[in-house]
């Protein structure tokens, strides 16, 4: 039986799109539900266009509402892909080691509460970092602190702006998240993984020990 995943998002859903493109029909993994805290999130339309059930959680702090919908759709794994609300502790507990997040920086740098979107890339530039990237990690009660499962780095270039950096990092997110989900599908649960090199500027970052 395929591993059933719920993707949670708050915005455009380009990571969902990359994931759907990468998942083979009849493979180990199926996106069986898309959850949002925002009813106008463009990612919901994308999901509906693929025939995937969607659900808006107007009160994302209500763990019992989450658990009811996750149970109804028999969700095995949760993928946070641009989900900008806090997942309640009861859901983190119920899905411990079965929930991953993608963060647009090389954690543990530039993560934590309030570090999302443009702010992350502005912080990378302000710190003078010479590379940045994306991280997939397990979700725990602390923002961006769970075990790192995979990372890929891209260079910071002279003249970069938060926007140019965001675009470069997004390109690597679109490879990293599908790789994480395919690895999780094959193993039955999230596991450390690495990207297959494609001769680009992307560099795999070895996983630190948990």
State how far the alpha carbon of 121 is from the alpha carbons of 16, 85, 164, in Å. 21, 20, 9
Decide whether 176 or 184 has the Cβ nearer to ligand GRF: 176
What x/- string results for residues 118 through 157 when contact with ligand GRF is judged by CB under 6 A? ----------------------------------------
Decide whether 64 or 161 has the Cβ nearer to ligand GRF: 161
Return the exposure string of 170-208: e unless at least 16 CB atoms fall within 10 Å of the residue's CB, then b.
Answer: ebbbbbbbbbbbbbbbeeeebebbbbeeeeeebebbebe
Decide whether 95 or 116 has the Cβ nearer to ligand GRF: 116
Touching ligand GRF, residues 84-123 (CB under 6 A): 102-104, 116
Residue from 5, 14, 38, 190 in contact with ligand GRF (CB under 6 A): 14
Two tokens at 119? 């702010």
Residue from 5, 9, 182, 202 in contact with ligand GRF (CB under 6 A): 9
Touching ligand GRF, residues 171-210 (CB under 6 A): 173
Q: Would you say 150 and 103 are in contact if contact means Cβ atoms under 8 Å apart? A: no
Q: 33 Cβ partners below 8 Å, 6+ apart?
A: 4, 5, 6, 7, 52, 53, 54, 55, 69, 70, 73, 75
Q: Among the options 103, 121, 137, 174, which is catalytic?
A: 103
Q: Is 60 in the site for ligand GRF (CB under 6 A)?
A: no
Q: Considering the complex, what minimum distance in angstroms separates the CB of residue 166 from ligand GRF?
A: 7
| Count of positions on this chain that bind ligand GRF (CB under 6 A) | 15
CA atoms within 13 A on the CB side of 185: 23
* Rounded Cα distance, 17 and 109, in Å: 27
The answer to whether residue 103 is catalytic is yes
Residue from 7, 29, 79, 82 in contact with ligand GRF (CB under 6 A): 82
The kind and range of the H/E element at 77 are strand 77-80
Phi, psi (5° rounding) for residue 167?
-65, -40
Residue from 3, 81, 149, 205 in contact with ligand GRF (CB under 6 A): 81
Strands 131-138 and 148-155, bridge-based pairing: antiparallel
Return the residue nearest ligand GRF (CB atom). 82
Q: Which residues are catalytic?
A: 103
| Residue ranges in contact with ligand GRF by CB under 6 A | 9, 11-15, 43, 81-82, 102-104, 116, 170, 173
């Amino acid at each position: 039986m395929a591993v059933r995943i719920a993707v949670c998002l708050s915005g455009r859903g380009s990571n969902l799109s990359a994931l759907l493109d990468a998942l083979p029909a009849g493979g180990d993994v199926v996106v069986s539900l898309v959850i949002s805290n925002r009813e106008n999130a463009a990612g919901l339309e994308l999901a509906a266009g693929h025939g995937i059930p969607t659900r808006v959680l107007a009160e994302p702090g209500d763990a019992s509402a989450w658990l009811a919908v996750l149970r109804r759709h028999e969700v095995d794994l949760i993928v946070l892909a641009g989900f900008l609300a806090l997942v309640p502790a009861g859901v983190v507990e119920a899905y411990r080691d079965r929930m991953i997040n993608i963060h647009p920086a090389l954690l543990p740098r530039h993560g934590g509460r309030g570090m999302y979107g443009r702010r992350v890339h502005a912080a990378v530039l302000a710190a003078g970092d010479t590379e940045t990237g994306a991280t997939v990690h397990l979700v725990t009660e602390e923002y961006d602190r769970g075990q790192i499962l995979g990372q890929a780095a891209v260079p910071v270039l002279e003249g970069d702006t938060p926007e140019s950096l965001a675009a470069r990092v997004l390109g690597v997110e679109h490879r990293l998240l599908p790789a994480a989900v395919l690895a999780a599908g094959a193993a039955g649960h999230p596991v450390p993984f690495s990207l297959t090199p494609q001769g680009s500027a992307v560099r795999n970052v070895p996983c630190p020990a948990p």
